[in-house]
C-alpha cells in the first residue's frame, strides 16, 4: 500500500528506535509503529510496554477526549509536561505517542533523526545542474551561477543551492536562526544587508554538515525563492 493513506495509517517500523530524555534512554525498541495521523509525514508510536511506567506521570484530564490518557514524561527533576499520549480506543488503542520536540534526542539505529521520522515513501535527490540561475533582491544581484545543485524532495518545491563563490558574500550577515529537517539536517541562516542598509532577515540558508543523502549541498547557499527575484536561463520565475 502506498500514499495517500486513509488516516490513521499504521505500519511496523523495521528500525530500532531509541528516545533519550533527561540522561536516560526512555525507549529502546524494535517494535515501533509508523503512524500517519495526517498525510504529510508519520510519527513514531510505541507499545505501552516499551515506555517504562516509571517515566510517566498521569496529568489531570482537560476533558477534551475520553479516548486518551495524557502523561508528563519525568526523569528525576526534568519534566516534559503532557508529552505522552496513550490511546485507549480505535485503531491506535494501546499505543503511546511521545511529542517529538520535547525529547532530548531520537535515533533510528545509530543515526540521530530530527523533527519527525523519515517517511519511507519520500525521496530526496540532489542533482548537479548547468542551468543559469541569477538572483536579485531589490534590484541588487546577490547570486549568479551556472553550477547550481537542485534538490528535489517529494511533494515540495525544488530548491536551488549555489556555490559560495557565486554569491555576494559581502552582503550576507550570519543569523542566529537554525532549523532542522529530517532529511537534510540542521540549517544555519544568513540575512541579506543591501548597500542602502535594508536588511532582509533569514533569506538564505545552508548546511554545514548535511545528512548523508544530501551531502552534495554541504556549504552551498539556498535563497528563499518566494522572497527574492529569480531568473533561470534568462526567464524570470514567479
For residues 63 and 91, state if they share a domain.
Answer: yes
Give yes or no: residues 132 and 229 share one domain. Answer: yes
* Confidence class for position 39, pLDDT limits 50, 70, 90: confident
Q: Considering 62, 87, 113, which residue would you say is the last residue of a domain?
A: 113
Q: Is residue 2 part of a domain?
A: no
Report the mean per-residue pLDDT for the chain.
93
Q: Which of 91, 113, 135 is the last residue of a domain?
A: 113
Which among 119, 85, 120 is positioned nearest to 99, based on CA atoms? 85
Residues 6+ apart with CB under 8 A from 235: none
Residue 107 lies in a domain: yes
Query: Which CATH number is 212's domain given?
Result: 2.170.150.40
Spatial distance between the Cα atoms of 10 and 179, rounded to a whole number of angstroms = 28
* CB-neighbour burial class of residue 156 (10 A; exposed 0-12, middle 13-18, buried 19+): exposed
- Claim to verify: residue 107 and residue 139 sit in the same structural domain: no
Among residues 130, 142, 160, the alpha carbon closest in space to that of 233 is found at 130
DSSP summary character for residue 162: B
Nearest to 15 by CA among 106, 103, 81, 95: 106
Q: Is residue 195 part of a domain?
A: yes
- Which residue is it, cell 551556472? 146
Q: What is the pLDDT of residue 65?
A: 64
The structure's pTM equals 0.81
Rounded mean pLDDT, 204-219 = 95
Co-location of 39 and 92 in the same domain: yes
Asked whether the predicted pLDDT for residue 191 surpasses 60, the reply is yes
Q: Within a domain: residue 1?
A: no
pLDDT band at 4, cuts 50/70/90?
Answer: low
Please state the domain count of the chain: 2
Amino acid at each position: 500500500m502506498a500514499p495517500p493513506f486513509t488516516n490513521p495509517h499504521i505500519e511496523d517500523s523495521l528500525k530500532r528506535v531509541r528516545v533519550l530524555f533527561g540522561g536516560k534512554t526512555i525507549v529502546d525498541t524494535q517494535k515501533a509503529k509508523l503512524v500517519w495521523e495526517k498525510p504529510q509525514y508519520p510519527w513514531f508510536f510505541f507499545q505501552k510496554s516499551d515506555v517504562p511506567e516509571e517515566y510517566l506521570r498521569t496529568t489531570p484530564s482537560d476533558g477534551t477526549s475520553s479516548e486518551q490518557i495524557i502523561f508528563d514524561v519525568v526523569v528525576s527533576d526534568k519534566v516534559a509536561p503532557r508529552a505522552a499520549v496513550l490511546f485507549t480506543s480505535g485503531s491506535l488503542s494501546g499505543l503511546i505517542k511521545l511529542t517529538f520536540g520535547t525529547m532530548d534526542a531520537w535515533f533510528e539505529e545509530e543515526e540521530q533523526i530530527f523533527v519527525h521520522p523519515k517517511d519511507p515513501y519520500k525521496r530526496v535527490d540532489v542533482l548537479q545542474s548547468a542551468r543559469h540561475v541569477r538572483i536579485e533582491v531589490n534590484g541588487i544581484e546577490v547570486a549568479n551561477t551556472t553550477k547550481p545543485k537542485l534538490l528535489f524532495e517529494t511533494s515540495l518545491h525544488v530548491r536551488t543551492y549555489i556555490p559560495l563563490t557565486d554569491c555576494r558574500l559581502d552582503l550576507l550577515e550570519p543569523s542566529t536562526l537554525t532549523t532542522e529537517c529530517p532529511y537534510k539536517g540542521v540549517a544555519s541562516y544568513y540575512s541579506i544587508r543591501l548597500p542602502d542598509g535594508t536588511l532582509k532577515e533569514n533569506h538564505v540558508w545552508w548546511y554545514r554538515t548535511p545528512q548523508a543523502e544530501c551531502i552534495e549541498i554541504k556549504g552551498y547557499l539556498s535563497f528563499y525563492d518566494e522572497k527574492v527575484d529569480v531568473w533561470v536561463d534568462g526567464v524570470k520565475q514567479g
